[in-house]
Structure formats: C-alpha cells, structure tokens
C-alpha cells in the first residue's frame, strides 16, 4: 500500500506503483481530503489518517501488508504501524517528512521552495491539479498537523525495521536526516542518485527496485510478513 504525501494524491505515486504491480498487488489510496476521496472538514491530522487507513484495511480483509508512505505519508504509515502493528508486515519511509529544524510552516514551505529548484518540471501539471483539488485551506491545515507531529515518538516504536528511501538532491528530507531515521529504527537507508523529494515520482523504477530488494531481504531474514 502506497500512501501519498501532503497536498497531493495517488497520481504522483503511479510511476512506482506500476513497476511494483509487476510483482505484487498494489493499493494506492487517496487520504481523506485529497484526490478522489471525500473532503471532510476539518482536515484530518496524522492519527485520523492512520485510523482511516486501518479501518479501510480491516474492511478489505487483507492480510498484513507492506505500508509505504512518502513525505507526510511516511508520518501516517509510521503512526499506522504503531497503532495497528497487526496490519503491517513491512514499512517503507520514503522522503520521510522532515527533520526537527524544519518543523514550522515557514521552514517547511521554504524547503519545498528549494525542492522546486531541483525537481523534474514535468511533474508540475499533476501536482498543481492535486493541490487545486485539495483546496489551499486544507493544504495549510495539513502542513500545521505535520509540523506539530514529532515523528520520532512513532519511529522508536515501529514493529519492523523500515526501508528509508530518498533522493540525493532532496532538501526537504535530506540525507543526514534519513540516516538518523534509519539509525533510530534499525532500518536501512537507500539513496537514489539525482532524485529530489519526489523520488517515487521521478525514479519509479529505482524506488520499486529498492522496495522489492527490502522485501526480499526481510523474508530472507526470517521476519514474519
């Protein structure tokens, strides 16, 4: 299950989803308020998004799944894994939110601005459509929820060592922060060359390959999944 980040939808995760679908069943839901999902008021915080996904997985009656969250989605899947470890077989934290130094609206938006300078420009129409669908008030409210969420409290309680995935050019979740996340979780960090924050959009094949290798290694290690 791939979980999108703040202000966007399933659409920008499709490059990775399509490659993974050649080997695994793949779910790419839209969080409430985004993409094709309903638009609740007020905007959901991290816990409500995680609870929504848990209820959705329960309704589908699926066995435990690999949860892969990008950016804000990494916050959501980390919370899901802590709240409902019975639903989670593996965890991927892609471009995982941001480090404590950028946990204010101004700082986070500033890092996004820097990211725009190194992202592939062909993404712009997809991202602009998603932001327009979500509405600016929801985007700003969700930014507030993100910067107030100390992801470290969830990272320290993850039931499975995660894959920490990111791009070498990412200024939002930079390499030093991803290394910290991997260290505190006992996970493995993989950096995709020449990719920025939206690594699962611009480097779908490499992202999918990293996820597939992580799952293979997890099975080989004897961890249940």
Residue range 2-218, CATH number:
3.40.50.1820
Torsion angle defined by CA atoms of residues 53, 159, 186 and 103, in that order, rounded to the nearest 10 degrees:
40
pLDDT of residue 225: 53
Sheet containing strand 2-3, edge to edge, reads 2-3, 65-70, 88-94, 163-167, 188-192
pLDDT of residue 79: 99
Looking at residue 99, its pLDDT comes to 95
Low-confidence ranges of the chain (pLDDT < 50): none
pLDDT per residue as tens digits for the range 150-186: 999 999 999 999 999 999 999 999 999 999 999 999 9
For residues 26 and 19, give the distance between their C-alpha atoms in angstroms, rounded to a whole number. Answer: 10
- The pLDDT score that the predictor gives to residue 63 is 86
pTM over 0.85: yes
pLDDT, tens digit, 9 for 90 and up, residues 137-152? 999 999 999 999 999 9
Nearest CA-CA partner of 224 in 84, 90, 69: 90
Q: Where are the domains of the chain?
A: 2-218
Question: What's residue 122's pLDDT?
Answer: 94
In the chain, % of residues over pLDDT 70: 99
Q: Residue 224: its pLDDT value, please?
A: 58
Contact 194, 201 (CB under 8 A): no
Tell me which residue of 59, 71, 76 sits closest to 13, measured CA to CA. Answer: 71
């Amino acid at each position: 299950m791939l979980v999108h980040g703040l202000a966007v939808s399933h659409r920008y995760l499709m490059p990775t989803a399509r490659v993974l679908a050649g080997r695994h069943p793949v779910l790419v839901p839209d969080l409430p308020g985004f993409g094709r999902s309903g638009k609740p008021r007020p905007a959901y915080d991290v816990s409500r998004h995680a609870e929504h996904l848990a209820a959705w997985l329960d309704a589908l009656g699926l066995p435990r799944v690999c949860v892969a969250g990008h950016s804000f989605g990494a916050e959501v899947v980390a919370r899901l894994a802590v709240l409902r470890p019975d639903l989670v077989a593996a965890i991927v934290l892609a471009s995982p939110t941001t480090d404590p130094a950028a946990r204010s609206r101004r700082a986070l938006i500033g890092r996004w601005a820097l990211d725009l300078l190194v992202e592939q420009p062909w993404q712009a129409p997809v991202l602009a459509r998603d932001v327009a669908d979500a509405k600016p008030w929801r985007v700003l409210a969700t930014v507030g929820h993100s910067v107030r969420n100390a992801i470290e409290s969830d990272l320290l309680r993850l039931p499975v060592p995660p894959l920490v995935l990111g791009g070498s050019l990412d200024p939002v979740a930079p390499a030093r922060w991803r290394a910290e996340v991997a260290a505190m979780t006992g996970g493995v960090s993989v950096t995709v060359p020449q990719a920025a924050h939206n690594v699962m959009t611009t480097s779908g094949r490499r992202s999918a390959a990293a996820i597939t290798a992580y799952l293979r290694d997890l099975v080989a290690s004897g961890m249940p999944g």
